[in-house]
Amino acid sequence: MIVLNGASSSGKSTLGRALQDRLPGTWLLYGVDDLVRALPPRLTSPEGIEFSEDGQVRVGPAFRAAEKAWMQGVAHTARCGVNVIIDDVFLGGPAAQARWQEALLDLRVLCVGVHCQPEVGEAREQARGDRVTGMHRQQAQIVHQGVQYDLEVDSAASTPAALAQLVVARLNHP
């Protein structure tokens, strides 16, 4: 298991795809965006998940219940022998990491912090067109505060392939 944590538009998904290209065997890439897309539209509410115009994200109890089930499902996939890369945004910092640690308790996990400068993240948000402008800036610090990593990378400092090589090297030599 590889868990990638970083703010929205920090380069996690791109790194995940580069890892899939570089790592041998089958590696499935699951992102928190997949969970959000799977939610019924009625859960875009205080009970589920809300995205404010300034880029803040708030989650409620219905989202947390769905998230817990999703995490357990992803962990079960890994327990069935399929390699997994997680692309997540630890909005709750160490509490979010603890939820993954609970789900992945008996699995070998490499936790990677993915960073980039706020202006780079904002430019990516605008280029993508499917993000609220300001989301990266809102999340850039809070998603990393108090989180313990095995490796941290700057997605603006190198190519996805080079960053993937760093992650693979760390995976092979813990």
- Nearby residues of 62 by Cβ (< 8 Å), 6 or more positions away: 43, 47, 48
Query: 62: annotated binding-site residue?
Result: no
Topology (CATH) of 2-172: Rossmann fold (3.40.50)
Query: 6: annotated binding-site residue?
Result: yes
Alpha helix stretches (DSSP H) within 6-113? 12-22, 32-38, 61-79, 94-103
Helical axes 160-172 vs 12-22, angle rounded to 10°: 60
Q: Where are the domains of the chain?
A: 2-172
Q: What is the pLDDT along the chain (174 residues), one digit of tens a residue?
A: 999 999 999 999 999 999 999 999 999 999 999 999 999 999 988 899 998 888 789 999 999 999 999 999 999 999 999 999 999 999 999 999 999 999 999 999 999 999 999 999 988 988 887 777 788 989 999 999 999 999 999 999 999 999 999 999 999 997
Verify whether residue 33 is a known catalytic residue: yes
Query: 10: annotated binding-site residue?
Result: yes
Query: 45: annotated binding-site residue?
Result: no
Containing 152, the helix (H) or strand (E) segment is: strand 151-154
Query: 11: annotated binding-site residue?
Result: yes
CA dist 123 → 6, 49, 161 (Å):
16, 24, 21
Query: Could you tell me the pTM of the whole model?
Result: 0.94
- Residue 59's Cβ-side half-sphere holds a number of Cα atoms within 13 Å equal to 17
Spatial distance between the Cα atoms of 170 and 15, rounded to a whole number of angstroms: 14
Q: Write down the catalytic residue from 21, 33, 54, 87.
A: 33
| Residue 122, helix vs strand vs coil | helix
Residue 28 backbone phi and psi in degrees, to 5: -85, 140
State the residue for tokens 């070998």.
Answer: 108
Question: What are the structure tokens assigned to 149, written together?
Answer: 């990593």
